Structure 1
Amino acid sequence: MKYRGSCHCGQVAYEVEGEISGVISCNCSMCQRKGSLLWFVPRESLTLLTPENASSVYKFNKHVIAHHFCPSCGIHPYGEGRDPQGRAIAAINIRTLEDVDLAEIAVTPFDGRSK
């Protein structure tokens, strides 16, 4: 299935393809503050509809995840990194997707604070 998502003001917009079978709720210092629900997909499943430089990037801790956010409205639609096998992945904040019923999606806690 193809989903559309964006920040609040629309300056950062994207499409992502795949099936949402579940998401994680991470308790690291960043995700807990953002309230993100993250769905991980291969990076090639994410297509930006706005220029890549429309978002700003924040990296912290080990500096391996690029947390993309809108410099205008502050919403964090997605992040980019690598999985344990070294493949490029995108972490989609499903709260920024259109037409997704969050109540129907299984949420698994993840202890990112200890990592």
Structure 2
Amino acid sequence: MLVKGPCKVKTIHLLTSYDDGSGRSQQMSGLEEIQQSLRSHGVTLNIEFSSSIHDREIRFNNGWMIKIGRGLDYFKKPQGRFSIGYCDLDLRPCHETTVDVFHTKHTKKM
């Protein structure tokens, strides 16, 4: 979405928590892959970890902020490699979650 449209976002700040147990290395390699892919399109992804948050938070340098209740894994796994939605996430079913979208001019710093 960021690299397809006429978006002016150059920096993304992601605040998340570490996966528990053995999923941590998979989490780190996935985030590093996203970071490198965004970098090739001129977008910097800064990642910060917190052990005290539940919701994940993404902040863009244009003032928009997104909070996702279940983190970035809200898509359900496809049934197979040839299933609708395997490559196009717009067609993939989602897990139930809450997504809040704010602009910083309408929020207070705490």
**TM-score surpassing 0.5?**
no
In terms of Rg, which structure is larger? 2
TM-score by length of 1: 0.29
Identify the structure with the greater strand proportion: 1
